[in-house]
Every structure is written in structure tokens, then in C-alpha cells.
Chain A
Amino acid sequence: MNPTIKGYIRENGSVGVRNYVAVIPVDDLSNTAAVGVSKLIRGTVALPHPYGRLQFGSDLDLLFHILSGTGANPNISAAIVIGIEDNWTNKVADKIAETGKPVAAFSIEGYGDLKTINRASEKAKEFVQISSEKQRTEVDLSSLVASIKCGESDTTSGAASNPATGYAVDKLIDYGSTVMFGETSELTGAEDIVASRISTQELREKFWKIFKEYTNIIESQGVDLLGSQPTEGNIKGGLTTIEEKALGNIQKLGTKPITCVLDYLDPLPQGKSRLCFVNTSSAAAEAVTLFAAKGSVLHLFTTGQGNIVGHPIIPVVKISANPKTISTMKEHIDVDVSDLLGLKIDLREAGERVFEYAIRTANGRLTASEILQHDEFSPIKLYVSA
């Protein structure tokens, strides 16, 4: 029999592992009101961000995709959307409402911040009370949608924490779960290995197009990337080149075929047992934010030197094999697999630690990033505003 998790079944059948009321500002100007509501109403989570004005084209589409996708995420039981004016505010709210969950939209023009906070808070209180009666129920593990990324990686990531996570990814997919990965630029040097694991020619071509477009942008700057890719932290940890970093990165992808390839705006298709490439930035918060917007409810994050990223609505499980980082930054690390690096345990035992922790987190155990309030919400911006 398949393992189960205790999750929240939402109106559209998707399964969450947290149960928040989100307060989503459509634009930078609306952050104050959104944060204001979250300070007044317990159980709400505000998602402030610096964007949303004068964006256009695919950059604007991506912001809408991220805002509405985050509101639609199954970890959210209900959503309040606040924007400076009606049209874009309703656009985001209407998209979230397609999930069937309660949504309310408020615009600030014609009211001001204080009346908007008042109106939105009354609705938020109602939503939190509805949300507080939602119960966790036993659901099949196949309903879990998760994501993976590494950050401030070092050679211990490629040698231990990433392979251990890859073991857990294989096991999740065997049980029917969906796992998303991305970091387009950080596949450079291992992109052919990733491409060879993609299940169809059509998807492979799509991957190559995405990969080449992304790396062309980077290379067109004509600058030395040392310090950016690899990062200064990577270099301190012993990683020297992007190729070495990429070959370590892909150790966390497990061994399953890659059965979907998603560009920025593509929604996650329905299905089970999927390993999905998502075109993302390699910056931790931007990638996790996009995974959550596409429906990931739980993120497995490996680190060598100690990336401390979290997300406001999805638990980020921090996995490390670097004994120095585990000792000096212990409050940030959830899963210690340094014994694998030290040749004391085998891959299976380390991978089981990651898998078991993922299940406990799905069942409600809070991660270090959640308790330490690492609430990074970082939409990707593609180009300048108009």
C-alpha cells in the first residue's frame, strides 16, 4: 500500500500541507495595506514584493502567474488580494477563484490605506475562521507536489546532500508524487545529461530552446561570471567552475525520466509520478517562489555553505552534508547527512533520512526556515518596466 500524508484537501482536489490565509499585494504600493492586514489578523500571511507597476508583456504575465499561482497554491485556504486599482487586482483574484477557494479583492484608490485595511481585515477575519475549521486528512502520497533546489552549494552537495535528496526524489516519484526542479543556468556543463533524461523528442527540443535562450542572455553580457556563477560562497566551499557546480547540482535529480518541461508561464499539467523541469532563475528565493506558484507545497533544499532561504507559504526543508555548516549554522539545518560524506552510512540510509523528514514536514512538522521566519517571496522580473 502507498504511504499516506496528512494534508488539507482543497476544493479542486489538490492537497496542501499548510493552511494559511494569504494577503497578496498586486503591486509595491499595496504592500503597506497587505502587511497591515496581516498584523491585525492572526492566521494571515502577507506576501510583500517590489513589483507590479508598469510591467508589460511576458514580464507582466509572469508576475500575474506568480501572484495568482501563489494564491491558488493548496497551502492557502483562502486569499485576500489588494491592489492600487481594480482591473489588475480583479485579474489576480479571479484567477485564484478558479480553484474554488474563497477570494476577496480590494483596491486602494477611492478609499486610502486605512479604509482598505479595515475592509480587507473584516474579510480576512471571516476567512481565518473558515480556515481554522479545515482538518488534516489522510491522503495518498501521490497527491504531493514538491520541488527541489540547492543553494550556496559546495562539493559536499554533489558528493552527499544532493545524491541523498535524489534518492528521496526517486522514492517520491515511485509513490506517484510530482517533483519540480529548475535552475536553468546552473545546468551548464551537465545540460546534455538532463536533456538525455527527457522522455520525448518534443520535450527535449523545448528544453534546449529554454536552456539556450537563458544562457544566451547570460553570455551576451560578456563578463567573467566568477563570483556570480559559481557564487563567492560556492568558491569558498571548493567549487571552481560552473561545470563542476552543474554536475553536483544534477545529483539531486535522482534517476527517473523527466516527463514534463515547463517554461515560465506553463501551468503544471495534471498527472502522477512526474519529474518536471521548470525554467527558473538559479537564485534560491526566485526559484522557490516560482515552484510554489506552480503548485509545490513542500521544498527540499540542499546546501553546503549555508543558504538560509525560506518561503512564506511552503515549508523549505534544509539538508546539508557539510559538517562545518551543520555545526556553525545548526539552527537552519533540518536534515544532517554529513555521515554520508564521512563514509559512515550508505546512500540509502541518508536518502531515507531525507524522505522521512519530507513526510514529517508534510504532516505538519515545522521546518527551521518556517520557525526562523524566512519568508522570502521573490517574483522573477524578466526586464525593465515601461
Chain B
Amino acid sequence: MAKALIHEKEDNVGVLISDTKQGEEVEVFYIADKNPLTKVVSQDSIPLGHKIALRDIKQGEEVIKYGRIIGVATKDIKRGEHVHTHNLRSKRWSFPLRR
């Protein structure tokens, strides 16, 4: 089974610590105590180090990692999908600047 880490319990994405195939089950561990928290089925083949959605995230919703906002979903993301530049953008340095 593939493994992923989450930094904080409110995070809606995890980090894969092994390459993961589409359809593979991923066990998600909490980084602080190494305990398993949940399992998710990967909807994509996702490389080590890349992010996986731990729940459905709607377009325009904030993506949370380290318990903090790391950007905004640019399309609806389903639980288990790969989260990266194709569906997540910075709130700070996207062009045009949003502030």
C-alpha cells in the first residue's frame, strides 16, 4: 500500500512518500506522531512528493497544508486526485496579481 503524510490534521492535501498508481489505496499518516489517520484511493498515478486530495475540494476553495493556505483550487478536485499546478494556484503570486 502507498503512503502519504499530512502536516496538520486540518490539511485537505497529503504528500505521497512513494510513487502511487491509479486505483492504489494510500494510507495517510500524521507526521507529528506517525500514526495512521485515514485511507484514500488514488484517482491518478502520482509521483513521490506530490500532493493527493484527502477530500473533495471545490473550485475557488482554499487548499490547506501545514494548517495554512497554500493557494486556491482552480477547478473541482475529487478526493484522491493529484493536486498540482493544473488545479491549484498561488493566492500571492499568480498573474494577474489578485490583491
| B85 contact set on A, CB distance < 8 A | 226, 235, 240
| A218 contact set on B, CB distance < 8 A | 93
**Which residues from chain B sit less than 8 Å from chain A, CB to CB?**
3, 5, 7, 15-17, 29, 31, 34, 47-51, 65-66, 68-71, 83-85, 88-97
Give the contacting residue for B93; candidates A219, A247, A341; CB below 8 A.
A219
Q: A31 vs B34: C-alpha distance in the bound complex, in angstroms?
A: 53
Q: A247 vs B90: C-alpha distance in the bound complex, in angstroms?
A: 13
Q: A190 vs B85: C-alpha distance in the bound complex, in angstroms?
A: 20
Q: Number of residue pairs across A and B with beta carbons under 8 Å?
A: 100
Structural contact, B90 and A242, CB atoms closer than 8 A: yes
Structural contact, A238 and B47, CB atoms closer than 8 A: yes
Structural contact, A237 and B49, CB atoms closer than 8 A: yes
Interface check A364, CB cutoff 8 A? no
The secondary-structure label for the interface of chain A is: loop
Structural contact, A324 and B66, CB atoms closer than 8 A: no
Structural contact, B70 and A247, CB atoms closer than 8 A: yes
| A322 contact set on B, CB distance < 8 A | 48-49
Complex A-B, nearest 5 residue pairs according to Cβ-Cβ distance, in ascending order: A224-B95, A238-B50, A241-B90, A238-B49, A244-B70
Query: Number of contacting residues on A, CB 8 A?
Result: 34
Please list 7 pairs of residues, one from A and one from B, whose beta carbons are closer than 8 Å in the complex, sorted by A's number: A159-B15, A226-B85, A237-B49, A238-B47, A238-B50, A243-B91, A343-B5
Closest to B65 in A: A244
With A222-B96, A247-B68 in contact, do A241 and B89 touch (Cβ < 8 Å)?
yes
| B49 contact set on A, CB distance < 8 A | 154-156, 237-238, 304, 322
| B3 contact set on A, CB distance < 8 A | 343
Instruction: Tell me the minimal C-beta distance from B81 to chain A in angstroms.
Output: 13
